[in-house]
Structure 1
Amino acid sequence: MARPAVFDSEQLLDAAVRLAASGGPAAVTMSAVAAEAGASSGSVYHRFAGRTALLAEVWLRTVEGFQDGYFKALDAGVDARQAGCAAARYVIAWSRAHPEQAALLLYGAEDFGRAKWSEEHVRRADRGNQRVRATLGSLTADLGGEGPQAAEQVALAVVDLPLSLVRRHLRGGGRLPAHAEDLAERCAAALFDSLHGP
């Protein structure tokens, strides 16, 4: 008698990403993930304590994977302006290379049940958020910006505007245009250049 296939957590999370990308967080259930992966429901429950843990893991794995490259992009620039432009481009390039994961990130942690997450999952999420805030604060200072308005402007340049471009195309089931990285960079550069007024 053949032994049943063994499914690891990564395969099950990949299946959850596909479900979330096509149907939103509500589509990610234990039984749906099992069916998508071709696994038994028992395999899913063996890896994840329940749906809340599954939702937390699929969100956190996606966010942490994105953030790893994002921080590297911010560190790669010769100066702060170049680093910020690289980060804006990275948001687009990563989304182009990982459209299903990008579609997932167009939701928020709350959509993936953060209110019911374990303390460890919440700590992981908070650590990532704190690192983002600290990094953007340093970028703002390195660009010569001061105060909350400057911080908002930098966040708009390297987070909000690139993500809005991704959202407009991916939410409609389309693809990112070839010029998207250049457009994100030009917008970021313009916002950086206007930090000190006209």
Structure 2
Amino acid sequence: MARPPRYDESVLLDAAVRLAAAAGPAAVTMAAVAKESGAPNGSVYHRFPQRVVLLAELWLRTVGRFQESYLAALDSAPEPHRAAAAAARHVVSWSRAHPQEASLLLHGPDEFGRDEWPEEHTRRAQHGNRRVFGAVAQLAESLGATTAVEAERISLAVIDLPLAIVRRHLRNGRPLPGHAEELAECCVADLIGDGLIGDGGP
């Protein structure tokens, strides 16, 4: 039986995560990944023929792991208000459990060369985004949102504000405080409340 490669894709991408978390996407070069992982340069180029492919795979693996767990959080409660709260809390708790990956995602795909990605990688990114946006739209419908403003309020509650809580701490090199999940859930309560969106609020 053939032995698995010593420097497989996951080892190289783990090294790339550490580099991006420490010094941003610009620090993720082929040579830097080889040095960080201890792999020969040839092993890096064998897995990723171009730097843009390395950056694309790094982004897609990281965001894909987050999206899968976020979708699971949305599905964790049959009642939509509880699902919204679970999703908002999950943004924070996932970032707490994976601070390096969360720091990476805060840069956004453009800093990982999205405009130059091969078509295959662009399609994969679009597919993942459609799944998340579709799930949030379905949540909005379940909550009774009927206008663009109401749908925007829900997206703000379950995506944007939890990310803002994460960003303000991780960007300053601070660990997330113990009350961060509670703050994320408070955002949901303040923006969505206990009834349907159209039942109250300004």
- Where do 1:40-51 residues align within 5 Å? 40-51=40-51
User: Does residue 104 in structure 1 map to residue 104 in structure 2?
Assistant: yes
- Provide the residue aligned with 1:137 in structure 2: 137
Partner of residue 29, structure 2: 29
> How far apart, in 2, do the equivalents of 1:23 and 1:74 lie?
32
Matches within 5 A, 1:156-195: 156-193=156-193, 195=197
CA distance in 2, matches of 1:107, 1:188: 24
Matched residue count: 194
Deviation at 1:6, TM superposition (A): 2.1
Partner of 1:61: 61
Residue 192 of structure 1: how far off its partner (Å): 1.1
Give distance in 2, aligned partners of 1:166 and 1:10: 26
- SS of the residue corresponding to residue 76 of structure 1 reads coil
The whole-number CA distance in structure 2 between the counterparts of 1:24 and 1:112 is 9
- How many percent identity over aligned positions? 56
Q: CA deviation at 1:104?
A: 0.3
Deviates more, 1:120-129 or 1:186-195: 186-195
Unpaired runs of at least 5, structure 2: none
Q: Partners in 2 of 1:109 and 1:179 — Cα distance?
A: 29
Q: Which residue of 2 aligns with 1:70?
A: 70
Q: Structure 1 runs of 4+ off > 6 angstroms?
A: none
By how many angstroms is 1:49 displaced? 1.2
Do residues 38 (structure 1) and 38 (structure 2) align? yes
Stretches of structure 1 lacking an aligned partner (at least 5 in a row): none
Report the aligned-residue RMSD: 1.1
- Cα displacement (A) at 1:78: 2.7
* TM-score, scaled relative to structure 2: 0.94
Corresponding residue for residue 12 of structure 1 = 12
Distance 1:41 1:188 in 2: 47
